[in-house]
Amino acid sequence: MNKIYKIKNPVINLKYLLVTIALCFITCTKKDNNYNLEDLESEFGVKASVSRIDNKSIFFENVAYGEKSRNNLDIHIPDLVNPKGLLIFFHGGAFVGGDKTDIFEEYLSSIFLKIIKKGIIIVSANYSFLDSEGSKGVITSLEDGKNVISFLEQNRNLLNLNNNLTVLSGVSAGAGISLWNGFRNNKSENISGILAIEAQSSYNVYTWEKVFKGFKIDQMRKIYPELDEIYLNFYKGKTDGKLLKLLDYPSMMDKMDPPFYISNRAGKDLININNEIDFDVLYHSFLHADYLRKNAIEANLKFSGIYQENPENFILRMLEVK
């Protein structure tokens, strides 16, 4: 009598079959095209696998771009032969939490799926937290973002990006990293746009006194110990004019900077009914977006937002991809 063998979990087996087929395709076609997968694996120090964004793109996980503990990034490559552009993403988390895998969250994953289907390489990067070893405050996180951009620029030819354009993007703290680097980095002609979701208007928090009516940071620190603790951790207890100027990215805007997309949805009431600070409002108020737009108008810099277009359309437009 013939035995009947049952598949324990057909869904899992099908998933592994698809992964195997995709990797086989990558391996079988690499010799026929103008790239070498082994070169990428050697340069990045990790083996290629399959991206969770679309379950078919080439994926390099935990690629080191620096020597600090959180200096790693993930690369999702839908088309290495003829990529249409590069999207760099920095996660949120108030510089104390979050991870590069946040791109798989429901809201973000739908955006990135649309982008990767257009043949655009997606990079999601971690960066140092305020409490990471050796951190000098928020400036360390911002400079990690700069190092991510430099690392990818150095590997532009290896990724076949050639003259393709780059968009910086992020949520909350990651949006600030993108804005700071996008407005400072006028040397890179490849950066064509900045996508900022739930962004802060500056990392010179004294400028927030122009954002929120009646807000005085030093007075608020005396009243709310939690805010004082955040402030001291943010700057590592050291604030001087030179540092504050360096962190004030709206003051760096000029008409030659890349256009940006801004979308903030939190309200404007800093103090809630329990007489506590509403940190969602403090960090993500639409007033931050208004302040950035005001500075952009003064600098004659183009900008967009949710009332003009959705995030993915902005990205595609900045990368000149139809």
The dihedral built from the CA positions of residue 34, 122, 203 and 190, taken in this order, carries a sign that is positive
pLDDT value for 23: 52
How many other CB atoms are found less than 10 A from the CB of residue 278?
18
Q: How many domains does the chain have?
A: 1
Domain containing residue 212: 34-318
The answer to whether residue 27 is domain-embedded is no
The answer to whether residue 5 is domain-embedded is no
SS3 state of residue 76:
strand
The answer to whether residue 23 is domain-embedded is no
The answer to whether residue 56 is domain-embedded is yes
Return the CATH number at 302: 3.40.50.1820
What 265-273 contacts at long range (C-beta under 8 Å, 24+ apart), as own/partner pairs, is: 265/198, 266/198, 268/212, 270/212, 270/215
Query: In which region does residue 36 sit, left (phi positive, over 0), alpha (psi from -120 to 50) or beta (all else)?
Result: beta
pTM surpassing 0.75? Answer: yes
DSSP bridge pairs for 191 = 166
pLDDT value for 32: 43
DSSP 8-state secondary structure symbol assigned to residue 161: -
pLDDT value for 28: 46
The dihedral built from the CA positions of residue 211, 214, 218 and 221, taken in this order, carries a sign that is negative
pLDDT value for 6: 38
Strands 58-64, 49-50: parallel, antiparallel or unpaired by DSSP?
antiparallel
Tens of pLDDT along the chain (322 residues) come to 333 333 344 444 444 444 444 555 454 444 444 457 888 999 999 999 999 999 999 999 999 999 999 999 999 999 989 999 999 999 999 999 999 999 998 789 999 999 999 999 999 999 999 999 999 999 999 999 999 999 999 999 999 998 899 999 999 999 999 999 999 866 666 999 999 999 999 999 999 999 999 999 999 999 999 999 999 999 998 789 999 999 999 999 999 999 999 999 999 999 999 999 999 999 999 999 999 999 999 999 999 999 999 999 999 999 999 8
The answer to whether residue 295 is domain-embedded is yes
The answer to whether residue 156 is domain-embedded is yes
pLDDT value for 186: 60
The answer to whether residue 42 is domain-embedded is yes
The answer to whether residue 266 is domain-embedded is yes
